[in-house]
Amino acid sequence: MTAPTTRKDLMIVNMGPQHPSMHGVLRLIVTLDGEDVVDCEPILGYLHRGMEKIAENRTIIQYLPYVTRWDYLATMFTEAITINGPEQLGNIQVPKRASYIRVIMLELSRIASHLLWLGPFMADIGAQTPFFYIFRERELIYDLFEAATGMRMMHNYFRIGGVAADLPYGWIDKCLDFCDYFLTGVAEYQKLITRNPIFLERVEGVGIIGGDEALNWGLSGPMLRASGIEWDLRKVDHYESYDEFDWQVQWQREGDSLARYLVRIGEMTESIKIIQQALEGIPGGPYENLEIRRFDRLKDPEWNDFEYRFISKKPSPTFELSKQELYVRVEAPKGELGIFLIGDQSVFPWRWKIRPPGFINLQILPQLVKRMKLADIMTILGSIDIIMGEVDR
């Protein structure tokens, strides 16, 4: 009788785009040798909606409701970047109060994004409980958003020269209450997760990225800071009024999945510190730059009547984007979210190039998963934190 020969051929498996622990519609073509990953090819584009082309046929204010659909978990950042560009092109000053309101909203959005990273990441590596916990805190953030903007997820709140509406009565106290409550929540997460031996087994030393490697791949955000590089655009670019608050850049040396987890957990507590300082020091004054409103004053005499001034979420008058080019960026929860904008003396941008952090961070995935086990793919992919809305645009 002949002995059975062992088969040496490789196996090719599709993970996604409908895989339960894929974050959105990402498809990975994985080549396996038993349990070991030989090769991995990400296939993108299942959620492509032509966002850059749409921008070139809309005024900035018409385009604002679209942008929250890029990274639909950190919606305030996409709005911030969309209006920062035209503000810099037109050299429009933002009142102090509006800038503080923006900082509060951005940091709340950062916490909401990190929470909805943490839950699925833990579920991916086998811990179900945190997934239910994070919705408890995230729901409170969305209640705050709904009170201020009228919307839970797609806010359409930022405006060129300020914000669409002032904070409602009692909102600041509500937000301060949330900050106190949330710090106890983070402590609970750390007790539950950070020193959990099973969790540490799954993430320690998995998906290591060195500092030079992170720079060469163009990584940003927690991916870069977990590799030992202290780079945060809030400190580097001094945008909005971040310089007026006392906070530290969170970073780790190891560069593995655990380091990326620790950076994000640390960022949530730093965000709370920023929000508390902003709420306590928020100045009075206008919440938008009223000078921009005056552009259409003569053509539109009813601009001053009661309905325009006190009832509607007023749309800003459209103004021309001057003939120059500009790159603006903000530190979004996932990394550097940038827009390259070319004006053409028209109300529409001539070119609107989006630099999504998730797309650029995702490039390193095939290199990280090679020679790892099949189960580590989910750990590594989860630690990168991608949202397919902004990867595919």
Convert the pLDDT of each residue in 164-191 to its tens digit: 888 999 999 999 999 999 999 899 888 8
pLDDT score, position 274:
92
Handedness of CA 233, 238, 239, 243 (dihedral sign): positive
Beta strands in the chain (DSSP E): 11-15, 27-33, 36-43, 158-159, 162-163, 325-332, 335-342, 351-355
Residues 6 or more apart whose CB falls under 8 angstroms from that of 310 comprise: none
Is the confidence at residue 137, as pLDDT, over 50? yes
- Distance (Å) of CA 202 to CA 197, 199, 333, 380, 384: 9, 5, 23, 10, 15
Which residue, among 327, 357, 337, 113, has the nearest Cα to 217 in the 3D structure? 357
Per the prediction, the chain carries an average pLDDT of 85
The fold of the 9-295+309-390 domain, in CATH, is: Cytochrome-c3 Hydrogenase; chain B (1.10.645)
Examine the pLDDT at 97 and tell me if it is beyond 80.
yes
Residue 371 or 305, more confident: 371
The pLDDT value recorded for residue 91 is 83
- 263: alpha, beta or left? (left if phi > 0; alpha if psi -120 to 50): alpha
**Model pTM greater than 0.85?**
yes
Other beta carbons less than 10 A from residue 21's beta carbon: 15
The pLDDT score that the predictor gives to residue 6 is 61
The sign of the dihedral angle between the CA atoms of 31, 36, 38, 44 is: positive
In the block, tokens 């070991």 appear at 36
Higher pLDDT: 296 or 318? It is: 318
Q: What is the mean pLDDT of residues 14-39?
A: 82
Report the alpha-carbon distance of residue 238 to residue 179 in Å, rounded: 24
CA pair distance 42, 345, nearest whole angstrom: 40
What's the half-sphere exposure (Cβ side, CA atoms, 13 Å) at 56? 12
Any idea how long the chain is? 393
> Which of the two residues, 321 and 329, has the higher pLDDT score?
329
> Does residue 341 register a pLDDT over 70?
yes
324 has a pLDDT exceeding 80: yes
End-to-end CA distance of the chain: 60
Q: What is the pLDDT of residue 305?
A: 57
Lowest-confidence pick of 48-57, 299-308, 333-342, 351-360: 299-308
Would you say residue 312 has pLDDT above 80?
no
Q: Does residue 306 have a pLDDT over 50?
A: yes
Please give the C-alpha separations between residue 138 and each of 108, 111, 153, 192, in angstroms, as whole numbers: 9, 8, 11, 18
Choice among 138-147, 172-181, 192-201 with the minimum mean pLDDT? 192-201
Distance (Å, rounded) from C-alpha 390 to C-alpha 393? 5
Kindly state the percentage of the chain with pLDDT values over 70.
89
Write down the residue that tokens 């906070």 correspond to: 247
Q: How far is CA 12 from the centre of its chain?
A: 33
Which range has the worst mean pLDDT, 126-135, 242-251, 294-303, 336-345?
A: 294-303
Whether pLDDT at 104 is above 70: yes
Q: Is 218 left (phi over 0), alpha (psi -120 to 50) or beta?
A: left
Domain segments of the chain: what residues? 9-295+309-390
Q: Which two tokens stand for residue 30?
A: 């994985």
Range with the poorest average pLDDT among 60-64, 82-86, 204-208, 305-309:
305-309
Cβ proximity of 386 and 222 under 8 Å: no
One-letter amino acid for residue 341 of the chain = L
pLDDT at 213 over 50: yes
